Copies of this chain bind each other. A is one copy, B any other.
Amino acid sequence: MVTPIDPTGTGFLFAENRNMPMHVGGLQLFQKPEGAGRGYVREMFEQMSDVEEIAPLFLKRPYRSVRTAGQWVWEPDEQFDIEHHVRHSALPKPGRIRELLDLCGRLHSTRLARERPLWEAHVIEGLRDGRVAMYTKTHHALVDGVSAMRLLASVLSTDPDERGMPAPWAAQPGGRKPRREAAPELSDLPVQALRTALGITAEAAGMPGALVTTLSKGLRNETSALSLYAPRTILNQKITGSRRFAAQDWPVERLRAIGRATGTTVNDVVLAMCSGAMRAYLLELDALPDQTLVSMVPVGLNAKQSQVASAEGGNALGAVMVQLATDLTDPARRLAAIHRSMKDGKEALSSMTPMQILAMSAIGQAPAILTPILRMQGIVRPPYNLIISNVPGPRTTHYWNGAQLVGTYPLSIPINGMALNITCMSYDGNMAFGLTGCRRTVPHLQRLLTHLDDELGHLENAVGL
């Protein structure tokens, strides 16, 4: 069955080029089940490949021709070849996380083939600690990043003894329903609803006329939540097609303790860690601007606020422009400043007009599509310096056929003018940071992990923990 691709999806297909692949990724780490033999990874790979029927989402490919009047449509891939999509890879010795991140960076740098369904998964062996990794890549035209990770997680179970579980791309009898055993937060959205948070952008991307003018007015009409006066930094340049990826996690409890001691939220502490790390990183490169960096931070909107957004209600996203206070030297003062900026932003959001919320949500959801449009409207300074998202993940331990999911890290999409993306995801008591950057524009990306770790320590010291 041929179905039209929605305007947002089409926007991502059009926006994509050699230097800006438009796919999101996920890195998952699994602990082998007890008693797993030497051939365990191959078995896992074979289970992932041996799928009787592929779910429709993973079977459709984009297509356009004269017969579709030049419009992009989805059509099932009649020559679907699972071997192309599910791959077995390995790390060179010594098989540290470093080698894994290198491989993920490389895999994330190549574009998905458009003549096939827009996804790939790599089962990766060779970690010296015996864990198994899985890197997945899904085109943004198909699903957004958070949804992609939720989708993969939706086949997991909280029961370590459950077996016979399907691959994430397998069609499930009776459709993809929330698993009875799974924690409700994993799968509370049906697949089709996963895209609704983006629905708002569909309108914006679909009509670069009157609406965009209004959007741009909304953006110019500054509030404390929305500054268009972010300083220029090395992050806000043209990018290349090659990526670096860095990832690490820290116990949420450490962040929560800082929050408790200072009256701030875990999310504030995440932003403060990023702020301190960016400050140290840019100082090392002698590239710290005098003015504070501004981060776009997606936030949830409540039902009232989201009146213009999702028909589902409650799942809509807004965006707050948070001043990261990178001009301050003291970690505790930075955290306090971030807390205030976030609070101001959220308050401003609640007093904003639907059109302003629309504008911010749009630019938050699809900067790759909207940034060029804004430029046409004469807005040339970066609206913000980087995106920092923090997404709640499952709170309990999950398993796939007995293999424990021990970590899950998002890979996102750098775009021209926005060379670094930080996405955090909590899972099972840990806060995972995934940093995706342009390899050339963001040098020594891995150093940010050390800076994040240092900054967490500095914050603890500063608040007397």
Q: Cβ of A19 < 8 Å from any Cβ of B?
A: yes
Complex: how many Å from CA A79 to CA B440?
A: 8
A282: min CB distance to chain B, Å: 18
A39 and B93 within 8 A (CB) = yes
* A106 to chain B: closest residue by CB: B87
Q: Cβ of A145 < 8 Å from any Cβ of B?
A: no
* A440 to chain B: closest residue by CB: B79
Partner-binding segment picked from A108-116, A161-169, A198-206, A403-411: A108-116
A241 and B125 within 8 A (CB) = no
* A87 to chain B: closest residue by CB: B106
B18 and A114 within 8 A (CB) = yes
Complex: how many Å from CA A61 to CA B19?
A: 15
Q: Mostly helix, strand, loop or mixed at chain A's interface?
A: loop
Q: Cβ of A260 < 8 Å from any Cβ of B?
A: no
B439 and A115 within 8 A (CB) = no
A111 and B39 within 8 A (CB) = no
A414: min CB distance to chain B, Å: 14
A82: min CB distance to chain B, Å: 13
B113 and A18 within 8 A (CB) = yes
Q: Which of B19, B88, B106, B439 contacts A92 (CB 8 A)?
A: B88
Encoded as 1 (CB less than 8 Å from any B CB) or 0, chain A from 168 to 195 comes to 0000000000000000000000000000
A118: min CB distance to chain B, Å: 13
Complex: how many Å from CA A179 to CA B95?
A: 37
Known: A115-B440, A440-B79. A90 touches B18 (CB 8 A): no
8 Å CB contacts to B: which residues of A228-275?
240-242
A241 and B18 within 8 A (CB) = no
